[in-house]
Amino acid sequence: LNYLNDDLKVDEMMISPAYAYEKAPDQEHFLGVDQTRELFKKAFAGGNRARWRLNHSPLFLDFLEGKADFPCTAWAIPNYSLFGWQRPCYLMSDGYVPTYRQLIEETDW
């Protein structure tokens, strides 16, 4: 991320914990929750979290480090792009819907 942030000077970066999910063909290479939290604590050490231009809320970054826990899935946060509203990542095969109403009412949360 230093290279992207400092050398290429990208505007914003997105990161993901890449949790295991049922349909993934390679289950053994995902990190567990504790390993993921430790990884992000180390990555954000030394002021990197504040220095890197990350396109995430402070609550999500706290979640990645294990400083916050939520009763819902942090990766189910609605996301909008030119394709429309993206369904949560565990439903990625279901793709996108054109309206927020459809996302909320038709998604099997």
Q: For 43-85, write each residue's pLDDT tens digit.
A: 999 999 999 999 998 988 999 999 998 776 655 667 788 999 9
- pLDDT > 90? residue 98: yes
Q: Based on the fold, state whether residues 54 and 93 are members of the same structural domain.
A: no
CA pair distance 45, 23, nearest whole angstrom? 33
Q: Based on the fold, state whether residues 56 and 20 are members of the same structural domain.
A: yes
Q: Based on the fold, state whether residues 58 and 102 are members of the same structural domain.
A: no
What residues make up the domain containing 88? 78-109
Into how many domains does the chain fold? 2
Q: Based on the fold, state whether residues 82 and 68 are members of the same structural domain.
A: no
Q: Based on the fold, state whether residues 52 and 86 are members of the same structural domain.
A: no
* pTM for this model (two decimals): 0.66
Residue spans of alpha helices (H) in the chain: 2, 33-44, 48-51, 58-65, 100-106
pLDDT at 89: 65
What mean pLDDT, rounded, does the chain reach? 85
Q: Based on the fold, state whether residues 51 and 27 are members of the same structural domain.
A: yes
